[in-house]
Amino acid sequence: MTMELWKATVLGLVEGLTEYLPVSSTGHLILTERLLGLPQGTSESAFAVCIQAGAILAVLGLYRRRATDCVRGVFGKSPSGFALTVKLVLAFLPAAVIGFLFDDWIEAHLFGLWPVVGAWLLGGVVILFWPTRGPRAGNGLEQLGFGAAFLIGLAQCFALWPGTSRSLATILGGLGIGLSLTAAVEFSFLLGVLTLTAATMYKALKSGSVMVDDLGLAAILLGAAVAWLAAWISVRWMVAWLERRGLQVFGWWRIALGLTVAVLLIAGILPSR
């Protein structure tokens, strides 16, 4: 039984719009799957991860100069690109190791709506009470040290709890070690490319054949394509918004959505898993 294409489109839209916003794409996808009445199986879980490929391509396109510089650095043609690549790898490692070791446990215990609601509410409160400053007040990406990059990677580990948001954890981690908001967002997006690529490849290798058999290749490709377009729009909007107004709107969104879903769960309108 293949996934209906309109459902794949909705999931791709949700993934692309929320992947790089500090609101948790995983939490939004879990909620959307419940609303669409989709089963919570291996194929559906793999689908939600693999359509991230579209969002990855969108950010690579928008940050192609940085990405190209990193590639040149790997081949010894850009010292700054090589240094940034090493920092991204250092930031990637903590969540990669913990995620690999506890992937099954996380899916079994944290992929319900109640854990997501808790993470939404907690993250919303943190955003609203986090000290604010201008978007360029702080260090630039060039001043980021290797140890500081690793600390951002440790912050990313919190995002293994669905609903927390990888972007939120890494942006706040960057701000916490002294980066400007602009630099923290850029590093978060670039780190996302590495982290999401690894997660997508892992899921594709682990469950790809089952996913294609159950859901159909057309649904997967459509979901990824829609995620690419939505992420392109979302990232461009987010960068412009943060330059003017900061993170607070995302805190209010998380709290409003968390409270709404909590009411629906208590009323029995939504299943918790």
Residue identified by tokens 């290749």 is 217
Q: Are 252 and 124 in contact (CB under 8 A)?
A: yes
| Residue 273 placed within a domain | no
Summarize pLDDT for 241-256 with one digit per residue, the tens: 988 888 999 999 999 9
| Residue 99 placed within a domain | yes
Alpha carbon 2 to its chain's center: 26
pLDDT at 148 over 90: yes
Provide the domain count of the chain: 1
* Integer Cα distance of 123 and 135 in angstroms: 20
| Residue 271 placed within a domain | no
- Please enumerate in sequence order all residues whose Cβ is within 8 A of that of 104, keeping only pairs 6 or more positions apart, or say none: none
pLDDT at 166 over 80: yes
Token duo for residue 95: 């969540």
| Residue 137 placed within a domain | yes
**Mean pLDDT for the chain overall:** 93
* Integer Cα distance of 197 and 56 in angstroms: 7
| Residue 238 placed within a domain | yes
Half-sphere exposure (Cβ direction) of 153: Cα atoms closer than 13 Å: 23
| Residue 104 placed within a domain | yes
pLDDT at 132 over 90: no
What is the predicted pLDDT for the residue at 1? 64
| Residue 272 placed within a domain | no
What is the predicted pLDDT for the residue at 245? 87
Summarize pLDDT for 21-38 with one digit per residue, the tens: 999 999 999 999 999 999
Summarize pLDDT for 61-111 with one digit per residue, the tens: 999 999 999 999 999 999 999 999 999 999 999 999 999 999 889 988 899
Summarize pLDDT for 182-216 with one digit per residue, the tens: 999 999 999 999 999 999 999 999 999 999 999 99
Q: Are 162 and 111 in contact (CB under 8 A)?
A: yes
Name the residue among 216, 163, 162 with its Cα closest to residue 50.
216
Token duo for residue 191: 């780190």
pLDDT band at 41 (very low <50, low <70, confident <90, very high): confident
Backbone angles phi and psi of 179, in degrees to 5: -70, 150
The reported pTM is 0.93
Domain residues for the domain of 48 are: 5-266
pLDDT at 2 over 80: yes
- Percent of the chain clearing pLDDT 90 (strictly above): 85
* Integer Cα distance of 271 and 265 in angstroms: 7
